[in-house]
Each structure stands twice: as C-alpha cells, then as structure tokens.
Amino acid sequence: MLVVMDAAATAEQIETVVRHIERLGLRAHPIPGAHRTAIGVTGSQALKDPLVVENFPGVKEVIQVTQPYKLVSREAKPDNTVVSVGGVDVGGNGVIVVGGPCAVESLDQTRTIAEAIKRSGGQLFRGGAYKPRTSPYSFQGLGEPGLEILARVGDEFDLPIVTEAIDHQSLQLVDQYADCIQIGARNMQNFALLKSAGRARKPVLLKRGMSATLEELLLSAEYIMSEGNYNVILCERGVRTFSDHTRNTLDLSVVPAIKRKSHLPILVDPSHGTGKRNKVLPMSRAAIAVGADGVLIEVHHKPEEALSDGPQAILPEAFEQLVREVEAIAQVLGRTLQPALAAR
Ligand code: PEP
Ligand code: MN
C-alpha cells in the first residue's frame, strides 16, 4: 500500500498520516520524491480502511502496490534514488568506478592499489577484510585489522570504502569503519543479516545471489529497506549457468529490467561476473552501455601473488584505461563520470 501525498502537502499533514498508520500497528516509510512524497505502508497486515486515509488532508490517493516488493518499486518512487557513499553520489547522472583488490592483504598492498585507483579517477575503493571463501583452507581475510587498513588508506587518498560484512559481528564493525556495507552473493538471502543491514547507519551494496532471480534480488533489497535503511545499491555479479568459458554468466539484461521495476541504483561487477582478466574491460564497456550506474572492478598490482581472485584482477594501468573508456561511453549516453572527492 502506498499513500501518495499532494505535491503541496505540508510536513505536518505527512506526519499525521504517518502517525495514523503507526497507530494501526503498521510501519510507515515516507519516501520523498522529486515531485511528491509517498508513504509506503508495510507490515504483515494490510491497511483495512484505505478510504479513511484517503480523506486525510494532503492525501492525493492510496494505491495498492501490485508487486511483491513495495519500497523498492518504481511505483513507490518514480524518480531514481541517488545514494551518497561517503560523499560520492551513486545513481545520479554520473557513473562511478569502484576499484580495489579482492582482499586486503597488507597495508602496503592496499596503499599501492588505492593510490592507483585515485590517480586513475576511481571514486570508491573496495577490498574485503572478511572473505567468504569456498574452501575453509583459503585465505579468510584479515578481519578487523583489515578494516583498520581500509579506513587509514581511504582517509589518506580521500576514497570512500566499500567492504563486505559476512555476519552480525562483522556488520557492526564494517558499519563503524567503512562508508558502505557490502552484502555478498552468498549472503543475499541471509535474511537475518539483511535485517541487521537495514538497521545500520551506512548505505548497503547488495550483490545478486549466484542463482537469484531479479524478483529475489529486489525482495532482499526490500528486507533492508523495510527496516528503515533506504540507501541500497544493487549489484549484478553474474549467475551460474551451464556456460563454462567464464566463471559466471554476467547477466547484463538484468540492468534495464531493474531500471524499469526499481528506483535503486545498480552497479555491475564484471570481475566476478567473468572471472577472467581479459574480459573485464569489454564487459565494463557493455555494462555502462546497458545503463548501469557504475562498475566494480578488482585491481591488483601483482595479481600472480594475490591471496584471492588473482586471475580476474586487472593491473593498475588497465584500470586507468577502463576509467577513460567508461567515461567516453557514459558521454555517448548523455551521462558523465562522477567526479572523485577532492583531496582535503
Ligand atoms: C567480492 O566482491 O569480494 C565478492 C566476494 O563478490 P561476490 O559476493 O559477488 O562473490
Ligand atoms: Mn573477489
């Protein structure tokens, strides 16, 4: 259910509707838009008396949201959501490039790569301190010391940090140290973790599960938003198919499909999407061409020594070219490359 307010509705009128909804034991989510505010109504019971709300001052109409996801849908918010990650806008007219290693391995490694990301025009820095690995014997990440390295390096180069949380404990720490909480493909349907992310302060980057449908991805985003965190960025990272020439099959057609159904920004990760260094640049071009709000790229200065995902990491020089080409393609589409934060 969505209560659409008049363009001229006052803050007080909006507040009165919110209080009414909450008195009924439901949750009200005011969604300010470019032209009007809508109030999403969630809860396990439907609003029994929509006509009563329709007669409140300032209310334009009450509409039933037809999709299973509510707050995520374009019906709830016709204009695109722009999420600020440490001061960098994601989802506006400017596209972004997130770069960094798969895993934080040391201060030196992280600094070297961050310096290259900044110099090349990347806006955000990525790197895992908690790594969900297929084998328990593989490198699991540095944990909190890794977050300390990320925070220090992010500060040094004015690069906001995106890093993964894998459980409740790491989520609290990532919320403190980083600028954006990544929920990885393996946890896309960890509903308890999604709810915790929904109560966190920082924006959330939600990656598509390895075999998740578009609807399942959007419902996972709905879990986060239904808890009150409206700053969600989606990420396509490939799904598992019978094709074995790449690690996953990067499903770029999901980008325009999501743009129709949802107002949330969407990034594309061609690194995990292909698993192969030589496919990262062409698929990045394609991702921007198809309407993604940016790309997420694994970069390593010594990929042969990387503790995880070396075969898909591109070199810093290749990253620089990638940023240039992303900018050129964005311009063809009437978009720009989002400026990076200026050094303080
Ligand atoms: C990552 O981005 O570091 C990662 C582990 O990706 P995914 O969850 O998409 O596999
Ligand atoms: Mn990786």
pTM to 2 decimals?
0.96
* DSSP three-state, residue 277: helix
**Distance between Cα 141 and ligand 1 center (Å):** 13
The phi and psi torsions of 307 (rounded to 5 degrees) equal -80, -15
pLDDT of amino acid 49? 75
Ligand nearest to the CA of 234: 1
Q: What is the pLDDT of residue 44?
A: 74
User: Which residue puts its alpha carbon closest to atom 3 of ligand 1?
Assistant: 102
CA of 66 to the centre of ligand 1 (A): 32
Ligand nearest to the CA of 280: 2
pLDDT value of residue 64: 87
How much is the pLDDT for 34? Answer: 86
Q: In this structure, which ligand is nearest to the CA of 129?
A: 1
Of 121, 116, 114, 181, residue with least CA distance to 150: 114
pLDDT at position 40 is 94
For residue 227, the one-letter residue type is E
Ligand 1 pocket test, pick from 113, 134, 207, 211 with the greatest ligand atom count within 8 Å of Cβ, gives 207
**In DSSP terms, which residues pair with 206 in a beta bridge?**
183, 234
Q: Which residue, among 206, 156, 157, 150, has the nearest Cα to 181 in the 3D structure?
A: 206
Sign of CA dihedral 279, 285, 287, 293: positive
Nearest to 215 by CA among 187, 182, 181, 189: 189
Q: How far is it, in rounded angstroms, from Cα 269 to Cα 250?
A: 8
Distance from residue 326's CA to the centre of ligand 1 (Å)? 21
pLDDT of 218 reads 98
Crossing angle, helix 168-177 and helix 144-157, to 10 degrees? 20
**Ligand 1 atom showing the smallest separation from residue 187 Cα:** 8
Counting ligands in written order, the one closest to the CA of 184 is: 1
Q: Which residue stretches of the chain have pLDDT < 70?
A: 46-47, 344
- The DSSP symbol for 157 reads H
DSSP codes, 70-129: -TTBTTT--SPP-EEETTEEESSSEEEEEEE-SB---HHHHHHHHHHHHHHT--EEE-BS
Ligand 1 interacting residues, C-beta cut-off 6 A:
102, 128, 164, 184-186, 207, 237, 272
Atom of ligand 1 nearest to the CA of 103: 3
The protein residue whose alpha carbon is closest to atom 6 in ligand 1 is 184
Q: How far is the CA of 296 from the centre of ligand 1 (A)?
A: 10
Pocket test for ligand 1, best of 237, 254, 308 (most atoms within 8 A of CB): 237
Among 269, 297, 312, which residue has the most ligand 1 atoms within 8 Å of its CB, making it the best to mutate?
269
